[in-house]
A and B are shown apart, each in its own frame.
Chain A
Amino acid sequence: MSIRELAKEYKPYAVKIRRDFHMHPEPSMKEIRTSDRIVEELESMGIECKKAAGTGVVGIVKGKGPGKTIALRADIDALDLQETNDVPYKSQNPGFMHGCGHDGHAAGLLTAAKILKEKADTFDGRVKLLFQPGEETAKGALKLIEEGELDDVDGIFGLHLWNDAPVGKVSIEAGPRMASAGIFNINVTGKGGHGSMPHQGVDAVLVGSAIVTNLQSLVSREISPLDPAVVTIGIFNAGTRFNVLAGEAYLEGTTRCFSMEVNDSFESQIQRVVEKTAESYRAEAVLDYNELVLPTINDPAMSAIGERAVEKIAGKDALITYEKTTGGEDFSFYLKKAPGAFAFVGTKNEEKIPLYPHHHPKFDIDEDAMEVAAALYAQYAVDFLNK
């Protein structure tokens, strides 16, 4: 049987496992039951596996002979969200919910493992199954990398079930797919005093405001108009009383972009604006900048493999183009270690499932997408290894 046919046959398995995960959601880096269940399933398939990155699982499916290694990644964590769906597989853990589709990712990859195990005589090399914890907190991918799981990998493929694309359709274009996310805070130190004697102090409210307005020109003047970029200040806190000159101001914000070049320049650009603006007002400002995730940029050759795989498992019409999104993915960290591609697998079908966005308490998917996801994981691995 072809991969496409096997995926159809194992669809009930995929749905069953997905519902099991959906009923038992667990927060990031605490996916204890989930990872135990994954180990159980892999062992019952006869696939060698181990726990990794705490509550993650790494499995290996060996082909018929030596060759390259392709990593397939599924994230497995849920959200701290109270599910309001009325379905038989509703979350049993109050306050937690698979509101982003990771239940489907984990189940899809387990189903692909089942398929690959059966088709092991059709490829050389190895398939490394990465069941990654803690995607929502952007900790899991880094932890797996830190443990060396990407060191022996030649390429990586991941996917996201996506409610904004119709079921049966897949987007896996080359280039930027998801945004970077940076988090930063700024501590402005001026000099407090009485509001009626501003000259005796250094007004941190004014300095903070100057920083906010000056930061606007990074996007409008310094970064190429062709490179999408976002700098947002989400918090501005200063002062205690209307007539007391604020001596300190605290600002917190986030950055987004789609190119490594912009991503790498954000910190020094923001630092320059922040520090020099403060200095021009005789104040001091300290920036603390951290990268949460990098831009997710698909390698063109790896995307091409994915596109061919989609044609095989779902037909030419299944390929769609989908605009990149400003959401972030810690899959991006893998792409620094190995060439890779990330696909959006459509789950939208308003005739069957009311449409709600990801992270919504009524989020749900059309499970027909499970068949596509499982087949795509498996086909991608085989095509990569046989290339």
Chain B
Amino acid sequence: MRHKEILDTQKEYVISMRREFHKNPEISWNEFRTSKRIKEELDAIGIPWIACAKTGLVATLEGEKPGSVVALRADIDALPVTEQNDVPYKSINKGVMHACGHDGHAAMLLGAARALKSIRGELAGTVKFLFQPAEEKAGGAKLMIEDGALEGVDAIMGIHLWNDIPAGKMNIQAGPRMASGDVVFIDFIGKGGHGSLPNQTVDPIVVASSFIMNSQAMLSREKSPLETVVFTLGEFKAGTRFNVIPEKAHMEGTFRCFSQEARKRTGEAIKRYAEETARSFRAQAKVSIVEAMPATINDPAVAETVKTVAEKVVGSENLVWQEKTTGSEDMAYYLQKIPGAIAFVGSGSSEKGKSFPHHHPKFDINEEGLANGTALYFGFAVEYLEQNH
């Protein structure tokens, strides 16, 4: 019960830190004030830190006894959204808002750091706290890894506050949780000319349209019906005038997968459909795939440990099942390197339909969820180090 008491004393602290971060949001790679405040808090707690990934940092708490190394990760950046909430802790930075709950992530991790520091004598091993910048830009985790944040780390856990789950409940499952999200740029190069003489041209609008139609079969015919793949072309731009056939058609899109294998196969299929469709019209396709986020896949063993802790925090009756989502999360980069898991901690209103979705200008979290997230960070570090001693 001593742990519960220690955690209880963090509740007010976490809420006040969350509100401070909420009031002072900073967009990806600009989390200067945020990281400065985190450093100040860590100094006050007495946990050493080093700067990492420009505006991020890694704090290290060594237990009394040797053991494994476990990492807890919180992302700290905000979004370019203008807040429409009328709350005392409303954003004071115009056009920037914590509309995804990262304010809560940072605050919970600070609360967990305070609690873990106070039981340092019991810890066999090391806890690393990863305060990561620029999750929304998908570059933060990558740079953290490049800067050595995972060196010597055996396992990692991250939390996302989730408004689709009411506060008081949690979700933790093994396997794919969030999709990969790669970006596709395609230019179909035909031959321009007058709209009244199509025979003298190669019409890239017809080529591009055919590609879009043809590539639907990739989803309906090529992959297993049991497998989830999304392919969306969000932009199609071509032409300047009704009676001129343009030289090229430009499109941009994204594809989402839940395994590295599917990701590779889908990228190749998109290229094949684009290039062969273009060839069938005597046109040319220039396909460029910019790899963004991999799929977020929870390690079964780590997920099991998180689940054990989650049952202690909210009770097994409050663990909910949730379908994987086609959104992306850069936690995926860590999970590509070492075993780990991401948990979704409920921050939704208990009244149905009252919560606004993530990224909405009226997004807000139910702060009752913060204590559960703090306890989950704390409990996972303790449990993992005990299990892997």
Contact = CB atoms under 8 A, between A and B. Distances in A.
Partners in one complex: yes
Interface of A: 179, 181, 183-185, 194-198, 203, 205-206, 208-213, 216, 230, 232-246, 249, 252-254, 256, 326-328
B85 interface: no
Contact of A252 (B185, B216, B239): B239
B183 A242 contact: yes
Contacts of B184: 242
Given A195-B230, A205-B233, A234 B213 contact: no
Contacts, number: 152
Contact of A256 (B196, B205, B328): B196
Among B179, B194, B209, B328, residue most surrounded by chain A Cβ atoms (within 10 Å):
B209
B23 interface: no
Contact of A195 (B197, B203, B209, B254): B254
Among B205, B238, B253, residue most surrounded by chain A Cβ atoms (within 10 Å):
B205
B234 A236 contact: no
A341 B284 CA distance: 44
Given A196-B181, A206-B216, A235 B238 contact: yes
A29 to B, nearest CB: 20
Nearest to B212: A209
A240 B232 CA distance: 13
A234 B245 contact: yes
Given A230-B195, A243-B254, A203 B232 contact: yes
B247 to A, nearest CB: 12
Contact of B235 (A197, A210, A242, A328): A242
Contact of A212 (B209, B234, B325): B209
Given A213-B206, A230-B196, A234-B195, A242 B243 contact: no
B326 interface: yes
B181 A216 contact: no
A242 B254 contact: yes
B241 A179 contact: no
B237 A245 contact: no
A214 to B, nearest CB: 9
B242 A237 contact: no
11 contacts: A179-B196, A183-B242, A183-B243, A198-B232, A213-B210, A232-B198, A237-B238, A239-B236, A241-B252, A253-B242, A326-B196
The 3 A-B pairs with the shortest beta carbon distances in the complex, nearest first, are: A212-B209, A209-B209, A235-B239
A254 B254 contact: no
A184 to B, nearest CB: 8
A146 to B, nearest CB: 25
A223 to B, nearest CB: 14
A234 B196 contact: no
Among A183, A184, A205, A237, residue most surrounded by chain B Cβ atoms (within 10 Å):
A205
Contacts of B22: none
A16 to B, nearest CB: 35
Given A181-B196, A205-B212, A233-B205, A246 B234 contact: yes
Contacts of B230: 195-198
B195 A254 contact: yes
Contacts of A252: 239, 241-242
Given A232-B245, A236-B208, A243 B234 contact: yes
Contacts of A243: 181, 183, 232, 234, 253-254
A232 B235 contact: no
B263 to A, nearest CB: 14
